[in-house]
Structure 1
Amino acid sequence: CMAKLRIKPIQPGKFEMNILKKMTIALFLLLGGFIFLPPYFSPVFSQQAHFAVIRGFVVSGKNHPLQYANVQLAGTFDGDVADSSGFFSFKTRHFGKQILRATVIGYEPAEKVLHISPGDTLRVRLKLDETLIMLDEAVVTASAFSTGDKEGVTLKSLEVVTTPGAAADIFLAIKSFPGVAMVDEGSGLFVRGGDVNETITLLDQATVVHPYKFETPTGGVFGTISPFLLSGTFFSSGGFSAKYGNAMSGVLAMESQGMPKQQEYILGLGLAAASAAINTYLPGGKLGLRFSGNQSFTDAMFRLNGRREEFTRTPRSTDGNLSLIYKYSNTGTLKFFNFASTDRVGVHVNQPSFDGIFNGKETNMLHNLQWTDIVRGWLMKTSLSLNRFIGEKNLGNFNLKQEDDTYKLRTDMEKEMSPRLHLYTGWEFERQRNRFKGEVPVYQNVLDPQAQTYTLDESFFANRFGLYGEAEAQLHRRWFASLGVRGDYQQLARQWVADPRVSLRYQLSKTSDLRFSWGVYHQFPEPYLFNKEVGNPHLKAQQSRHWVLTFEHNKDNALFRIEAYYKSYDDLAIRANEINYANIGNGYSRGIDVFFKYGAYLLTRFNGWISYSFLQSRRLQARDLGGTYLHETAPSAFDITHNLTIVGKARLYQQLSLGLSYRYATGRPVTPVVDAIKQSPFNYYLPVEGRVNSERLPAFQRLDASMSVYVPFGYGNAAVFYLGISNLTNRKNVLDYDYSPDYSTRTPRTTNYRRFIYFGVSIMLMGT
């Protein structure tokens, strides 16, 4: 158990950072499915003559899609519920003159007269007028960015997967947002000076405890969940609502795709991966199925780009998804989402205490059953989930197997009580089981096989219960407010915490508004830190407070947002001399985030965005003096002062598109080694650290490019050929410093993510 504390310190371990250096090139593994086609490329299929098909979109008066709108033929049971893009589609045997009606909370109903004949396929657009200005999380709450097609949207799903350099990865694309620091080239989300563990990841209400592949102390090389499985995402870097708990910094909430609207067959083949997907439904439109699988084979990719000799086993990954969707009524849906992935890697690692081969294997599974329906005016969602993770790591005297099981039951409800008042409430129960078994070094990063080790076989359990309530109201013609509170209890801490949260919004004009958010955010320490031998069974919840002020202007194809924030930290669990860990840590982060976006992918000839963040972050941290700790207030390990991202995409000629992205980040803080103590009779040294994070790495810069060509063929079929080039200028970014065996000299460790080429094709075939 002691070793677990050693291998997941606040400052990332040297040997794991070295592994990260070797693996970041594998970001392009996901490019086997780099491009997917938007719904408006999809053809309309002929139906059997005894059916008619009604399909179309439900939009607001501002032409924003209206998710969950109920669309129905009056006097019948035939209808559908609009998805995140406002799209609906259903079959009917009711012919002749019919009235199509659409309703959704907060809008006036809309009707349209249809004349239906057998074999018809009718396309309808229904526009609903607002009964008041709608309030949702992306509008009222500060620091929110959504990739779904919702009001207040900043980046749509298609834009996320086509961001140059993001390798079609949700996490890497989100790192182009303001407020997320570029700590390294991996996909870990370090939000406004917070640790990667301070951001929670959810999928259809289920907690994704291990959201990264090829895990490292800074998150991982890329995200576990493919964007092609998602209908949209919601990301907040602060000031989020009472709906989300046990997170001090950020929230990433994802929604998986629902009922297929048509039959699709998708094939992908790239330099390092192959993929296949089937989306279909049974006659009657009540039962749908989505299946996808991906297999990577990176040997050829690394040979082409000159990195094959660094691996004994090139990174390999296999994953699969099976989703069953049952629509038992016009408003009710059951969705059974299943995902599993396995990753392996073998890479050569140099360390002052050991030179050898790192072998790693990870298995990650998520099973989630979600029920959605409207009951007596309440929109209700309930999910039951299991997330299982098994990880094995071996390097020198380090040999550890980790098993995590997380069970969760959650319910969320919302209702319009009046035209000016909406209520939200819900609860959740989560049970975690962690087991660690193996051998780990007594001294962190001393991996010599002759060095002392701990033998581990420990299990930890933690139960947490949470509940929340929130009200959103229109106080006056231009004033809106959101007031919420949540409570959480964890049995290891034996503590209830209460988190009040408030958001105010003043509408300056039809296109501009000013928002203020304040809230308290608690997060319980990891279960293993409560161990009485090497942790502290008396640890309590850690706490942060957010103050956020936002100005936003959104008109036509342009959006501008500037945000100032201050975040305080108290009761952080850090290393202590008397009792291993104690709630004595504190600190703050403050800064300004700026975001400008123009255009929409495939809808305007040019689109892109610019994001900039200024950050100052300080924390009380423990400095290792060789068995004792000196506490110092210093820049956090995630204090990246300046972050700048520029993304641009353009259609050059007909179906030929080009994208470029440029990233700049201040070098991250590092703690220098100022001395070393030789351990006789062994041939290794223990480092002595200087002042915590008193130095910085050189600035990080990278330019990425992508190009794609869309080629339609047959009836509604299409192929997309693509080329990606990472680090176009071949810049040698410094990731860390390597030390000699006695720590007397150090040399910069530059990235292996040099100029890197990837290409492939994605093919979409339409069924009948």
Structure 2
Amino acid sequence: MKTFTLLSFLLLLTSGVTKAQSLLQGQVQDEAGQPVIGANVYLKGLYDGASTDETGHFKFTSKQTGPQTLVISFLGFSTLEREIDLTQPQSSLRFTLKPDYRQLQMVQISAGAFEASDEKRSALLTSRDIVTTAGATADIMGAINTLPGTQKVGEEGKLFVRGGDSYETRTFIDGLLVANPYNASVPDVPSRGRFSPFLFTGMAFSSGGYSAEYGQALSSALLLQSQDLAEESQTGISLMSVGASLSRTKRWANTSLAISGEYNNLRPYMALVPQRQKWLHMPESRAGSVVFRQKTSKTGMLKFYGTYTTSHLALEQLDLDHPTKAIAVGLQNQNLFLNTTYEEVIREKWTLQTGFTYTYNQEDIAAGEAQVNTGTHTWNAKAVMIRDLGHAVTLRTGLETQQKNYRQLYEETPAAQPRHGLVDDQNLAAFAEADVYLGQKLVARPGLRLERSSFLNQQALSPRLAVAYQLHRAGQVSFAYGHFYQTPENDYLKYHQSLRFERATHYILNYQRTANKRTLRVEGYYKSYQNLVRYNALQLQNATDFNSQGHGYARGVEVFWRDQKSIRHGDYWVSYSLLNTKRLYKGFPEEARPSFASTHNVSLVYKQMVNPIKTYVGTTFSYTSGRPYHNPNQEGFQQNTTKNYLDLSLNASFLTSIKGHSTILHASCTNLLGFNNVFGYRYSTSPDAQGQFAVQPIVPGAKRFALLALLISVNDGKKESAK
């Protein structure tokens, strides 16, 4: 009897369980009524679910009861959620998925933008390209100078883009402004970028028409995206002909920490290679950095980067007003840069990106008896919220503040009354921008940015718009338009005269075709300038009556071709820029082409992996037509032109190992053929007895620059994966 009762109870329990199971079945299709194959259909937060078959149908059972959320998802479509009640019998369900054009990424805005990310399929350059481009000597700015739109200004070493001065190109790390992206230098001695390309996974160079998120840049924006967690623990050793560095990286499951130190001294190199300048203290620098990464959650990341650099150089420069006398020019620089960012997904729909940077830069320059001491504190903070609105709109909004405290002390002689320059400015900005996908072939990015400067007591509203349309599977056309504002440089603001935001208006039309590892870009642009700073002298030190009545324009056509397919283990790109520009600004008496602007710029970059000897070889040929300069010994203004600039650079990297540790032996040489390049001419401020102004050519310190480096990576042999 007891056995019968037990069996009856088990049968009753089994029957109850069977009745508790719910059957869910139905079909998933797209907007055209076609079945979606392989879509995931499941109950939210549970393992109950199935995938659709070749007819778009699904079928599964669940023991759950009561209200539940059914989720239908598939790549390229917006995820669909439907509330159902499993206490009631479910009839056959039918769902229609709408395409999510943001995921498809069939069309992307490319006007004015060069992506250099290892992750984006539209990338035209990778981070490795920055390091292996011959002639760049592992400098980010040097590699970017092989792209169309840039001007080669050898005596500066900075980025000059589309007829814009170097200060018009701004650098951002993880969306935050870098106040001093270049190492300190003196006139006619080129500077380098402060940051190693190994710090970054992505680099986007925008020669115009960039996002409303970025302000204080008239011509272009260089956007650097820092690495996340380090892949593994390792020790890095670099021995170079101009210095050495040592780094240690430690990786834990969700944390990584890297500490590095670097010392550079050009004395050994300059002692071997004849220099055109007379050096009193050859360039020397010391640097240390800390990189901390913490994965705070599945979607959260905290980053910190800090670096401190000191540098010193001194040389003699000819005093053209006293030809028998040389002026000793010395520079000492200290730079502290701190960058902290945090990113997190909030409630599955909002993404928060926030960060803070601080820069302290101190420059002490001695030129003969004159002393110039300049100190700048710069803070930049930003908060950005990103929200997907439906299946075709992504909204991006943010607030930003930039605080600048600039102090300069100038003493012409020890007995002279010192002059002070003071600038305290806070720039507040707000912006909103949306990516709107109007189908699979059309995307628009309208944006608006509002800025206010406390020092100028002025605000500026910047409308911006970018549109891209896919012509065919491999090709698309893009258009960009916008207003861009920038506060004048501190060298002008310190005079405390009434100035306004400088302004540039961009119009860009672009065609890009990418297929089979080949990319063709053709881009035309027009850029107008308003409110440029003017004064009534050719030399800033003698200037008076500063105003914002300057103006100008730049227009041109650019072509870029890259082929990574035709040559086995080979890769090359060709870029060409045609520039027509004039300005009435600074001390110009009339509208003229500025001295940094050349009409024609050509770069040919070729790279080849030679597998039998495990060597990566690269070469870069550069051609730049002559740049204008003003000769006071002749009538007119900016009436002369330098000879054409030519350069053929070569590098090679031999890949090997030392006791099982990855090792690279690298050698590079710029201007291999020894072209006698002239960047311009410098004239005395007053004529001699015959009425002639003395002249001196501006030339490189040496015809060539050679570098040897041994890079050793000592890995701990274990890779961690983030949880």
TM-score by length of 2: 0.80
Q: What is the number of equivalent residue pairs in this alignment? A: 615
Is structure 2 residue 380 aligned with structure 1 residue 436?
no
* Equivalent of 2:557 in 579, 583, 592: 592
Kept after mapping to 2: 8 A contact 1:308/1:314? no
Q: Distance in 2 between matches of 1:647 and 1:711?
A: 25
Correspondences of 1:164-175 after superposition (within 5 Å): 164-175=134-145
Kept after mapping to 1: 8 A contact 2:340/2:357? yes
Kept after mapping to 2: 8 A contact 1:615/1:641? yes
Q: Distance in 2 between matches of 1:570 and 1:702?
A: 35
Q: Distance in 2 between matches of 1:387 and 1:135?
A: 40
Aligned counterpart, 1:561 = 521
- Relative to structure 1, is the Cα distance of residues 734 and 579 closer, same or farther in structure 2, using a 3 angstrom cutoff? closer
Q: How much has 1:218 moved relative to structure 2?
A: 8.5
- Relative to structure 1, is the Cα distance of residues 269 and 732 closer, same or farther in structure 2, using a 3 angstrom cutoff? same
Aligned counterpart, 1:756 = 705
Q: Distance in 2 between matches of 1:725 and 1:527?
A: 37
> What does the per-residue CA deviation read over 1:272-322, in whole Å, with 9 as the maximum and x for residues that have no partner?
11112222123xx12210222211122211122233982121111111210
Aligned counterpart, 1:459 = 422
Kept after mapping to 2: 8 A contact 1:710/1:719? yes
Is structure 2 residue 605 aligned with structure 1 residue 605?
no
Let me know the Cα RMSD of the aligned residues: 2.8
Kept after mapping to 1: 8 A contact 2:107/2:443? no
Q: How much has 1:130 moved relative to structure 2?
A: 8.2
Aligned counterpart, 1:48 = none
SS in 2 for 1:222: coil
Kept after mapping to 1: 8 A contact 2:627/2:680? no
Aligned counterpart, 2:678 = 734
Correspondences of 1:498-517 after superposition (within 5 Å): 498-517=461-480
Aligned counterpart, 1:618 = 582
SS in 2 for 1:302: helix
> What does the per-residue CA deviation read over 1:608-647, in whole Å, with 9 as the maximum and x for residues that have no partner?
2111100011111354xxxxxx731111233210000011
Q: How much has 1:435 moved relative to structure 2?
A: 0.4
Q: Distance in 1 between matches of 2:395 and 2:597?
A: 38
The one-letter amino acid paired with 1:729 is L
Q: How much has 1:691 moved relative to structure 2?
A: 3.5
Q: Distance in 1 between matches of 2:565 and 2:226?
A: 22
Range that drifts further, 362-371 or 551-560? 362-371
Aligned counterpart, 1:163 = 133
Q: How much has 1:268 moved relative to structure 2?
A: 0.8
Aligned counterpart, 1:575 = 535
Q: Distance in 1 between matches of 2:106 and 2:462?
A: 17
- Relative to structure 1, is the Cα distance of residues 378 and 151 closer, same or farther in structure 2, using a 3 angstrom cutoff? farther
* Equivalent of 1:145 in 95, 102, 114: 114
- Relative to structure 1, is the Cα distance of residues 367 and 319 closer, same or farther in structure 2, using a 3 angstrom cutoff? same
Q: How much has 1:752 moved relative to structure 2?
A: 2.7
The one-letter amino acid paired with 1:428 is E
Percent identity for Structure 1 against Structure 2: 26
The one-letter amino acid paired with 1:638 is F
SS in 2 for 1:635: coil
> What does the per-residue CA deviation read over 1:49-75, in whole Å, with 9 as the maximum and x for residues that have no partner?
xxxxxxxxxxxxxxxxxxxxxxxxx98
Q: How much has 1:755 moved relative to structure 2?
A: 2.9
Range that drifts further, 178-187 or 590-599? 178-187
Range that drifts further, 652-661 or 153-162? 652-661
> What does the per-residue CA deviation read over 1:662-706, in whole Å, with 9 as the maximum and x for residues that have no partner?
11111221111239xxxxxxxxxxxxxx63322111111110001
- Relative to structure 1, is the Cα distance of residues 419 and 732 closer, same or farther in structure 2, using a 3 angstrom cutoff? same
Kept after mapping to 2: 8 A contact 1:460/1:528? no
* Equivalent of 2:242 in 272, 280, 283: 272
Aligned counterpart, 2:336 = 365
- Relative to structure 1, is the Cα distance of residues 106 and 671 closer, same or farther in structure 2, using a 3 angstrom cutoff? farther
Range that drifts further, 636-645 or 650-659? 650-659
SS in 2 for 1:424: strand
Aligned counterpart, 1:390 = 362
The one-letter amino acid paired with 2:176 is A
Q: Distance in 2 between matches of 1:458 and 1:571?
A: 22
Q: Distance in 2 between matches of 1:707 and 1:720?
A: 10
Q: How much has 1:104 moved relative to structure 2?
A: 11
Aligned counterpart, 1:488 = 451
Aligned counterpart, 2:654 = 709
SS in 1 for 2:558: strand
* Equivalent of 2:173 in 179, 193, 203: 203
The one-letter amino acid paired with 1:250 is S
Range that drifts further, 182-191 or 504-513? 182-191
Q: Distance in 2 between matches of 1:308 and 1:264?
A: 41
Q: How much has 1:487 moved relative to structure 2?
A: 0.5
Aligned counterpart, 1:337 = 305
Range that drifts further, 703-712 or 204-213? 204-213
Q: Distance in 2 between matches of 1:106 and 1:399?
A: 63
Q: Distance in 2 between matches of 1:660 and 1:185?
A: 22
Kept after mapping to 2: 8 A contact 1:137/1:241? no
Aligned counterpart, 1:641 = 599
Q: How much has 1:270 moved relative to structure 2?
A: 1.2
Q: Distance in 1 between matches of 2:234 and 2:319?
A: 49
- Relative to structure 1, is the Cα distance of residues 579 and 463 closer, same or farther in structure 2, using a 3 angstrom cutoff? same
The one-letter amino acid paired with 2:356 is L
SS in 2 for 1:212: coil
SS in 1 for 2:142: helix
Is structure 2 residue 255 aligned with structure 1 residue 297?
no
Is structure 2 residue 667 aligned with structure 1 residue 723?
yes
Aligned counterpart, 1:472 = 435
Correspondences of 1:170-319 after superposition (within 5 Å): 170-216=140-186, 220-282=190-252, 285-307=253-275, 310-319=278-287
Kept after mapping to 2: 8 A contact 1:138/1:153? no
The one-letter amino acid paired with 2:442 is W
Aligned counterpart, 1:670 = 629
> What does the per-residue CA deviation read over 1:327-356, in whole Å, with 9 as the maximum and x for residues that have no partner?
221111211211111111111211213513
Q: How much has 1:751 moved relative to structure 2?
A: 2.5
- Relative to structure 1, is the Cα distance of residues 194 and 600 closer, same or farther in structure 2, using a 3 angstrom cutoff? farther
Q: Distance in 2 between matches of 1:219 and 1:135?
A: 48
Kept after mapping to 2: 8 A contact 1:215/1:221? yes
- Relative to structure 1, is the Cα distance of residues 457 and 622 closer, same or farther in structure 2, using a 3 angstrom cutoff? closer
- Relative to structure 1, is the Cα distance of residues 613 and 554 closer, same or farther in structure 2, using a 3 angstrom cutoff? same
Q: Distance in 1 between matches of 2:580 and 2:290?
A: 44
> What does the per-residue CA deviation read over 1:179-200, in whole Å, with 9 as the maximum and x for residues that have no partner?
0111225421111001111111
Q: Distance in 2 between matches of 1:357 and 1:311?
A: 9
- Relative to structure 1, is the Cα distance of residues 416 and 437 closer, same or farther in structure 2, using a 3 angstrom cutoff? same
Aligned counterpart, 1:95 = none
Q: Distance in 2 between matches of 1:105 and 1:495?
A: 47
The one-letter amino acid paired with 1:413 is M
Q: Distance in 1 between matches of 2:218 and 2:75?
A: 32
Q: Distance in 2 between matches of 1:755 and 1:664?
A: 16
- Relative to structure 1, is the Cα distance of residues 520 and 761 closer, same or farther in structure 2, using a 3 angstrom cutoff? same
- Relative to structure 1, is the Cα distance of residues 226 and 520 closer, same or farther in structure 2, using a 3 angstrom cutoff? same
- Relative to structure 1, is the Cα distance of residues 268 and 495 closer, same or farther in structure 2, using a 3 angstrom cutoff? same
SS in 2 for 1:171: helix
- Relative to structure 1, is the Cα distance of residues 662 and 263 closer, same or farther in structure 2, using a 3 angstrom cutoff? same
The one-letter amino acid paired with 1:712 is S
SS in 2 for 1:633: coil
The one-letter amino acid paired with 2:576 is Y
SS in 1 for 2:210: coil
Q: Which runs of 5+ in 1 are unaligned?
A: 1-73, 77-100, 110-128, 441-448, 624-629, 676-689
Kept after mapping to 2: 8 A contact 1:482/1:503? yes
Q: Which runs of 5+ in 2 are unaligned?
A: 1-43, 47-70, 80-97, 538-542, 718-723
- Relative to structure 1, is the Cα distance of residues 255 and 703 closer, same or farther in structure 2, using a 3 angstrom cutoff? same
Kept after mapping to 2: 8 A contact 1:138/1:144? no
- Relative to structure 1, is the Cα distance of residues 419 and 600 closer, same or farther in structure 2, using a 3 angstrom cutoff? farther
